[in-house]
Amino acid sequence: MQETTSSVSESLKAGNRVVAFGIAAIVAILFGAALFLFLNLPDANEFNARVERLFVENNNLTTGAEIKLLEILAQSGTSFSEVLQSYRVVIFVLLVFSTALLVAALVFLVMIIALNRRISAIQRSGIQVASLMISREGRAVYINDMEFQLTEAALETLAVLAEARMDDEVLTGAQIESVISGRNESDCEEAAGATRVKRLRDALGNQLVSELLVKTIARRGYVLAVGKDVIRMV
């Protein structure tokens, strides 16, 4: 148990480092891209400076039409600088938004990978059941601190599997059907018992819990993946 805890802690630390490095890399890349864009955008006052040079270098533009043209150019330069400034704001907002999206995507990706690893570990080791109590009167099963209400048929199937587990037996579908129905095993079909097991798993609800609690052993049958000493029937 100590080795498992140490392994989990190391995995968590490694995952946290990956997230931290990933976020830092994303921020650094986008910051570099933003710096490159802003440095290569034209100066907002460049157009106004060119118009001013026209005024300075062309003192002979004295007619009303020529002066009007220069005024229009000056107004255009002002409009250009305002539009360029708005572009800067839009680019900044888009970069912030893309940074947030990439960071969120990285975090979710790491969380999914970690969750898949945890599920794989659970599938390999099975569910750690500290207590399993079957209450026929209440038609319920208590797994650790979780209560599952069952139908009469599902409760019978679980009780048969629990008794078989206490005897270290693995039951086939035909044997399960035989015990519950009271008929000879030769008169029972494997599919009937398999259907009862499927209904029990459906009654338990959580697919992961049900699949790991009621395990299928290839070419042998079905068994409860719990210790004999944790089973109680009342």
Domains of the chain, by residue range, sit at 2-125, 132-233
Asked whether the beta carbons of 209 and 158 are under 8 A apart, the reply is no
Per residue of the chain (234 residues), give pLDDT as tens. 444 444 445 655 666 676 677 777 777 887 887 778 777 776 666 666 666 676 666 666 556 666 676 666 666 666 666 777 777 778 788 888 887 888 788 778 777 777 777 666 655 555 567 788 888 888 888 877 778 788 888 888 888 998 888 888 888 989 999 989 888 988 889 999 899 888 888 887 765 566 667 888 888 888 887 777 777 777
| pTM for the structure as a whole | 0.48
Q: Which CATH class is domain 132-233?
A: mainly alpha
Residue 125: DSSP 8-state: H
Q: Is 135 exposed, middle or buried (0-12, 13-18, 19+ CB in 10 A)?
A: middle
Q: Could you read off the pLDDT of 2-23 as tens digits, one per residue? A: 444 444 456 556 666 766 777 7
Torsional class of 221: left (φ above 0), alpha (ψ -120 to 50), beta (otherwise): left
Cβ of 104: how many Cβ atoms within 10 Å? 10
